[in-house]
């Protein structure tokens, strides 16, 4: 049988080819419409995260500021004190860094891993002026006896690696010893694991508290007539119209020992004047403030899901003989779980990275890992350690997200 001829357009182009051109044109138009959003996501989300992950293992300072010393240390076996040649290279590179004005950056970098490392470099800077000729080894040890300690050179070698996992180890209170083994830091220096655990604990507790407080609120709003429900929604949204900083500082006024809440409890006779409660600059202050601030993020997703539950089903259940509790438990509760999942996940992720509230009302007992990340970014300038802690936090959240998907199912999470 002869093959049927392809339909031809009036301009001589086959219909099939013209349809393919039209489909490609639609795809190009659709891609052009989403391209600005794609660029925005890449610039503001993907690139910063990739930069953070790279900086957590990137260690370029010594390679850039003292390249010859880095090469000499890589050839040193670490079994005994470096040779005269290594001391000479160190003297030349540190002297060159002094003249270039970058010696302070080397000192700061060494100080992250060696207690007193900054003073060693800066003291040597003054002493080096007296060293005019070899032997440099004896002269440097005479200038500061720490140059004669093999541990000093071991640390200097460790901080000279171009790429390193030391930032991640430091973020979990670990480090390499002189033999390259991973060991725990001294107990008095172990703070980050405690902060990570405290951050997860506070985030889970805030999520639970907002759920316990927010569920009845969302239930009440969803079962009210539209006029009353809209008014209640406005009251839930009202905190968003006030600055976060103002809301946080207002808790300082409310919770301090001479604050409003303590004055009310003293006036009511609940506590004595001498028994005023310390509810600020501690863990309790962080929990109270964060729960109030994040409560709308729990209420709104739950409300949007509860609003889709037909109330006539509840009335039908009661008309068939079920009491209000059975009606709620068998009909309303299961259908509200997607909203609980959405609100819980949203509040938990926001809590993990919270910074302003713990910084202002948390004191030393209510600090979270985000406060340490900010400290290393702004004060100590140890960006590698800050990036490593941020990466660990990101990985922990992704793991919890994966577990949530396995146990509950992310497809069951709804926002209405």
pLDDT per residue over 329-348, tens digit each? 888 888 888 888 889 988 99
pLDDT per position as a tens digit, 250-283: 888 888 888 888 888 888 888 888 888 888 888 8
pLDDT per position as a tens digit, 72-111: 988 888 788 888 898 888 888 888 888 888 888 888 888 8
pTM for this entry: 0.82
Domain assignments of the chain as residue spans, ordered by start: 61-164, 192-412
CA 45: distance to chain centroid? Answer: 13
* Nearest in space to 57 (alpha carbons), one of 376, 371, 385, 379: 385
Give the C-alpha separation, 355 to 348, whole Å. 14
**In this prediction, what percent of the chain has a pLDDT beyond 90?**
25
Adjacent-strand bridge partners of 8: 14
DSSP labels for 159-216? TT-SB-SHHHHHHTTEEE-TTS-EEEPPGGG--HHHHHHHHHHHHHHHHHHHHHHHHH
Q: Let me know: does 326 contact 372? Beta carbons within 8 Å.
A: no
User: Sorting pLDDT into bands at 50, 70 and 90, what band is 1?
Assistant: very low
**In this prediction, what percent of the chain has a pLDDT beyond 70?**
95
pLDDT per position as a tens digit, 170-222: 999 988 876 778 888 888 888 999 999 999 999 999 999 999 999 999 999 99
pLDDT per position as a tens digit, 220-243: 999 888 889 889 999 988 888 888
Which CATH number applies to 192-412?
Answer: 1.10.3720.10
pLDDT per position as a tens digit, 6-52: 677 666 667 777 788 888 899 999 989 999 999 999 999 899 999 99
Give the C-alpha separation, 61 to 117, whole Å. 15
Q: Which two tokens stand for residue 125?
A: 């800077």
pLDDT at 219 (0 to 100): 92
C-alpha separations of 330 from 306, 315, 323, 324, 325 in Å: 14, 13, 11, 10, 8
SS3 97: helix
Q: Let me know: does 334 contact 313? Beta carbons within 8 Å.
A: no
């Amino acid at each position: 049988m002869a093959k049927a001829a392809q339909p031809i357009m009036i301009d001589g182009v086959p219909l099939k080819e013209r349809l393919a051109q039209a489909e490609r044109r639609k795809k190009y138009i659709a891609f052009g419409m989403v391209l600005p959003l794609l660029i925005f996501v890449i610039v503001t989300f993907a690139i910063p995260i990739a930069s953070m992950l790279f900086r957590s293992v990137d260690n370029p300072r010594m390679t850039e500021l003292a390249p010859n010393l880095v090469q000499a240390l890589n050839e040193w076996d670490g079994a005994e004190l470096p040779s005269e040649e290594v001391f000479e290279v160190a003297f030349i590179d540190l002297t060159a860094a002094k003249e270039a004005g970058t010696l302070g950056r080397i000192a700061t970098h060494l100080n992250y891993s060696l207690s007193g490392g900054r003073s060693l470099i800066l003291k040597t800077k003054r002493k080096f002026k007296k060293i005019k000729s070899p032997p440099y080894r004896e002269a440097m040890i005479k200038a500061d006896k720490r140059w004669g300690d093999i541990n000093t050179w071991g640390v200097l070698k460790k901080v000279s690696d171009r790429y390193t996992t030391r930032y991640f180890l430091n973020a979990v209170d670990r480090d390499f010893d002189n033999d390259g083994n991973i060991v725990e830091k001294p107990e008095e220096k172990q703070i980050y694991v405690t902060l990570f655990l405290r951050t997860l604990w506070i985030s889970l507790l805030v999520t639970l508290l907002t759920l316990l407080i927010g569920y009845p609120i969302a239930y009440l709003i969803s079962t009210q007539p539209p006029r009353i429900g809209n008014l209640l929604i406005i009251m839930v949204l009202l905190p968003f119209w006030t600055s976060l900083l103002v809301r946080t500082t207002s808790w300082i006024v409310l919770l301090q020992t001479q604050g409003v809440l303590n004055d009310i409890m003293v006036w009511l006779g609940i506590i004595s004047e001498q028994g005023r409660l310390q509810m600020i600059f501690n863990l309790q202050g962080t929990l109270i403030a964060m729960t109030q601030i994040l409560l709308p993020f729990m209420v709104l997703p739950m409300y949007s899901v509860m609003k889709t539950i037909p109330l006539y089903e509840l009335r039908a259940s009661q008309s068939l003989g079920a009491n209000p509790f059975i009606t709620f438990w068998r009909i309303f509760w299961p259908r509200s779980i997607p909203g609980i999942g959405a609100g819980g996940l949203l509040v938990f992720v926001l809590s993990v990275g919270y910074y302003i509230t713990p910084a202002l009302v948390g004191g030393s007992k209510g600090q979270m890992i985000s406060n340490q990340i900010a400290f290393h970014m702004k004060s100590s300038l140890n960006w590698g350690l800050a990036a490593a802690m941020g990466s660990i936090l990101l990985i922990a959240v992704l793991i919890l997200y994966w577990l949530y998907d396995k146990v509950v199912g992310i497809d069951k999470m709804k926002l209405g």
